[in-house]
Amino acid sequence: MSFCDGDGPFSGVVFSIRMLECARMQEFTLHDNFDLSKARIDYQKELNPQQLEVVLNGEGAVLVLAGAGSGKTRTITYRVSYLLERGVSPDNILLLTFTNKAAKEMLSRVETLLGWYPKGLWGGTFHSIANRLLRIYAPELGYPSNFTILDQEDTKALVKVCIKLLQVDTTSRRFPSPSKVHSLISYVHNSGKSISEVIESKYPQLTELTGVIERIAQLYAQRKKEADAMDFDDLLLKLRELLSTNEGIRRRLSQQFEYVLVDEYQDTNVVQADLIRFLSSEHGNLLVVGDDAQSIYSFRAADIKNILGFPQTYPKTKTFRLTTNYRSTPEILSIANAIIAQNKNQFKKELASVQPSSDLPHLVPANNSAQEAQFISQRILVLREEGVPLKEVAVLFRAAFHSQALEFELMKRDIPYEYRGGLKFFERAHIKDVISYLRIKTNPKDEMAWMRVLGLLSGVGLATAQNIAVQMKKLNSLADLFSSPIKIPKRAQSGWNLLLKTVEDLVAGNLPSDLIRTVVAGDYRNYLEAEYPDFMDRLEDLEQFALFAQGYTSLQVFLDEISLSLDYGVLREEDGISEEEKIVLSTIHQAKGLEWTAVFVMHLIDGKFPNERALEEEGGLEEERRLFYVATTRARKQLFFTYPITSGYDTLMLSQPSIFLQELPDTLFEKILLKTAVKSFASHSSSNKQSWDDEGPTIVFDELGERVQKQIPKGMSFLRNIDEL
């Protein structure tokens, strides 16, 4: 049975697409004498024409532009299998991936296809391959073969030692934490930029410390060398140094690796691109697979110029496109294609679905974040009733703090969820820090809260924090702190004075939202800035926390609800609920490569998505649009875009929908207007000159997600209070 027949692995697909591709099958020519009819694998049956063309014609420099859901892994796996069936020795093949899991999965599939394991094939991550090579050739660089690899804790500890050896004054002002300093140095190495360039573009608040950080970086490199140690970045840097300075070793390795294959090429940085070029320099058989439309990791120093400039770097490049999508419905792909079409710097391609037609994606403006969370939660329950398992539902968002209201709503409704890409909102360190400040206001004898707050102060260690916390048990109110003879070590006095100022402001305040902002406005903001590379994201978390708190007037009630919700969540975990029974909450970055039956993309408001800070960087807008594209292409059958029309509680501020939504033709989605939304979507956006909010199918749902009305009159408004829910 061939691919062009009506059965087989692609039965049930859209036949017009298939037949157009099958018409091209006769154009394929083999560049060697390998007889496909004698192969163990029936490549023509197992692959579609686009995939087959790559597998059979992958000699020389080859760029494979693999669209979302187009069978990228399948194509690479069959290409490796094809090389092995042709008689290429496994140790002449180098397969580079970004995760060990991906490499193992591909090699496992190769074993299944061939019936034997390709022992000797060089497959793994850039770092694992670099480690293997350096274990052989490190002496050429002055390192022993048994050099040590420093993990994250080791690197942080060594940077801390360097700061101390250089006698850097870290007390007169908050100095960046060792972790933050190392993150900066790491970005410098992976981006190929200087420390001053990186500080100017990513850490402008550290400009005055540029010289100090340069000295720390120099000493850090020196101490590693003296200890015969390398960190993760060094594995790539040292291998590049070896290949660029030792012509003999470069030729030896590039002659060995007759075929080099690279997965997720759009995620490579400048160092990795150099390594690929060196290792493929002799035979020139370099096949890279990637999708420029899914290049979303510039914050890790990934450089989209590597894939966009591949044909210029390798002038004889053959370019293939995989555009047949097996994941999403035609309606979802129509939106995805329309999204990415707005980008100028890209390889043009349009994904075509082989799935049957289905519902249009839905656009849902909600009154505020609370109603947005209520709608998503209710629709999840409806989906479950319709037979969609919870594990097949995902809610995606641009930044972690966007999920806060939803997490609280899910806990209230007893909907189990798994959080991908970090800790759940109320489990994050900075949220727990601020909650501890609030706890000492309601109960000044709260020893554990004091321990956490005191531990944030410069010059206060565990023992000192314990001694001070014990003294707090004498307090009857937080105001008593100012008249109590608390013994503070001299080294902690400056931090203690700053804490007293924050406590003074806490005593004067009452509303939970005001108290949260009081804590942040004190020295805690400086603490975050010094401690965390992503401190701006954490500040946004805390502002979202304050907005959420505006729904409460009693601090005690606010803290009680958080504690009870957290305790209930722990109990649910202890009940042994498996991942099979949980929905997924995830940042879009963490969702790349995954798929679900139903996907909600939430909090799509201007200024949040696209992220304002990302827009300040070169190419930032287009990368944000690619991120939106990635989110859209995670959905198989159902897709919902949601956003709150307003923010705040006592003071309402209107929010504009994301510019990415405004760019889309309104005929590509169906609008859902909730009866409790403030005004109508059309009325709210009437000042815009976009036509997308006036045309197209629109339905009205009540607060429980039940359909009420299929088409609404243009400009109809719904003005109800969220309390009516």
Binding residues, as ranges, are 66-73
Q: Residue 522: which of 591, 437, 465 has the closest Cα?
A: 437
Roughly what angle, to the nearest 10 degrees, separates helices 178-191 and 195-202? 110
Q: Which residue has the tokens 């007293």?
A: 500
CA distance 156 to 178: 5
Burial class of 684 by CB neighbour count within 10 A (0 to 12, 13 to 18, 19+) = buried
- For residue 82, give both structure tokens: 């094809």
CA distance 10 to 174: 60
Cis ω before 512 (30° cut-off from 0): no
Q: What single-letter DSSP state applies at residue 697?
A: -
Q: How far apart are the first and last CA of the chain?
A: 57
CA distance 371 to 442: 30
CA atoms within 13 A on the CB side of 675: 13
- SS3 state of residue 321: strand
CA distance 392 to 415: 14
CA distance 482 to 426: 31
Q: Residue 397: which of 669, 605, 656 has the closest Cα?
A: 605
Task: Give helix then strand counts, H and E, for the chain.
Answer: 31, 21
Under 8 Å between Cβ of 712 and 663: no
CA distance 106 to 76: 8
Integer-rounded Cα Rg, in Å, for the chain is: 29
- Phi (first) and psi of residue 429, to 5 degrees: -55, -45
Q: Residue 541: which of 424, 656, 451 has the closest Cα?
A: 424
Which residues partner with 614 through β-bridges?
none
Which residues partner with 325 through β-bridges?
353
Where is 17: in which H helix or E strand?
helix 15-22
Under 8 Å between Cβ of 224 and 234: yes
- For residue 133, give both structure tokens: 């090579």
Task: Extract the annotated binding site for ATP.
Answer: 66-73
Give CA separation, 123 vs 95, 287, 645, in Å: 5, 14, 49
- For residue 588, give both structure tokens: 């879009």
Cβ neighbours of 157 (radius 10 Å): 13
CA distance 301 to 477: 50
CA distance 396 to 405: 14
